[in-house]
């Protein structure tokens, strides 16, 4: 029987000054002497939540969670200055170095899968294995899949989002929303940030629930999440075209489990298949789920994959 892990104790928390005016918030939970696993949150800009620790057996793993630049409790809040993929990768390395951790398991979903892959490509010797969910490789095609493709499955959510966009901008919805969340008018910034996060949350789970979306909007700091996410998307995630696929040979020695919802309308299931076919030492599991890691089938598979890593002598 697959279970999630609850009541996980945090034994240390704090801020790490990573330079360029940024301090990232982190927490250490579970077993201080356990196998280290770094949870890489999505968004970009979403931050991590207590529920994200449920995938890891606290008796086996030293669970490291952190908020990326501008996200969650990191400072300065919602900052886009000096906020790029390369700098986030550097921050991950600085955090692990500060903790005296030489090798780690990476666990990342959605944008967290992107960032984990880039980190592993640039630091392959520091990564023992990866569990990745909701693969996103940073391409324009994947962005269009989320922004335009989802209207065929979630038409009401899409129409509500697109109704805020003038007809002249209907082919550049992403850029329009980005301009709005950078507006000098705080009411406009808040309106469009909330609308963007409402759309994304509405298409994320296998079963749509208005109450679930509203609960999440109360939980998440959507001003930061929308602002940072759009900042990355309009800049092609600050990585060259096909960067990950062109560098998968650097990952050939790393065991990788890929978990992707069959009905994911935020990140394309085809991206998971494409990555899997390029990686000789990877396993691909499609689940009866949408994009959310909290959909039951995906959650169970993620826990199972981490339990398997806990039994192996990789670290």
The catalytic residues are 110, 264, 291
Q: Could you list the beta-strand ranges (E) of the chain.
A: 10-19, 22-30, 35-40, 61-66, 104-109, 127-133, 256-261, 282-287
Task: Identify the CA nearest to 94 among candidates 204, 20, 8, 153.
Answer: 20
75 class by beta-carbon count within 10 Å (0-12 exposed, 13-18 middle, 19+ buried): middle
Q: How many C-beta atoms lie closer than 10 Å to residue 130's C-beta?
A: 27
Token pair, residue 59, equals: 């008796």
Token look-up 């770094």 returns 38
CA–CA gap between residue 309 and residue 298 (Å, rounded): 17
Three-state secondary structure of 157-187: HHHHHHCCCCHHHCCCHHHHHHHHHCCCCHH
Q: Which of 170, 171, 172, 216 is nearest to 197 (CA)?
A: 216
Which positions ≥6 away from 9 have C-beta within 8 Å?
Answer: 29, 30, 58
Query: Do residues 180 and 188 make contact, with C-beta atoms less than 8 angstroms apart?
Result: yes
User: Cα separation of 175 and 25, whole Å?
Assistant: 29
């Amino acid at each position: 029987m697959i279970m999630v892990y609850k009541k996980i104790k945090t034994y240390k928390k704090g801020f790490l000054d990573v330079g360029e005016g940024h301090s990232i918030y982190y927490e250490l939970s579970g077993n201080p002497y356990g196998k280290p696993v770094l949870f890489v949150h999505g968004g970009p800009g979403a931050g991590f939540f207590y529920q994200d620790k449920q995938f890891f057996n606290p008796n086996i793993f030293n669970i490291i969670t952190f908020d990326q630049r501008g996200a969650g409790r990191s400072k300065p809040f919602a900052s886009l200055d000096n906020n790029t993929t390369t700098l986030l990768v550097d921050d991950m390395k600085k955090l692990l170095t500060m903790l005296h951790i030489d090798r780690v398991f990476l666990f990342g979903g959605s944008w967290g899968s992107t960032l984990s892959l880039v980190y592993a490509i640039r630091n392959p010797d520091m990564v023992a294995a990866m569990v990745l969910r909701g693969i996103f490789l940073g391409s324009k095609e994947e962005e269009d899949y989320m922004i335009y493709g989802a209207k065929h499955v979630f038409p009401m959510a899409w129409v509500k989002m697109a109704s805020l966009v003038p007809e002249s901008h209907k082919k550049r919805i992403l850029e329009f929303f980005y301009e709005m969340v950078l507006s000098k008018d705080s009411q406009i910034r808040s309106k469009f940030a909330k609308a963007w996060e409402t759309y994304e949350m509405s298409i994320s789970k296998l079963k749509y629930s208005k109450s679930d979306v509203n609960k999440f909007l109360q939980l998440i700091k959507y001003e930061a999440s929308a602002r940072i996410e759009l900042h990355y998307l309009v800049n092609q995630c600050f990585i060259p075209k096909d960067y990950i696929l062109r560098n998968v040979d650097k990952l050939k020695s790393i065991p990788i489990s890929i978990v992707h919802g069959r009905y994911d309308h935020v990140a394309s299931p085809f991206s998971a298949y494409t990555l899997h076919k390029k990686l000789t030492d990877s396993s691909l599991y499609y689940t009866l789920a949408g994009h959310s890691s909290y959909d039951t089938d995906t959650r169970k598979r993620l826990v199972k994959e981490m339990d398997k890593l806990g039994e192996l002598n990789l670290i």
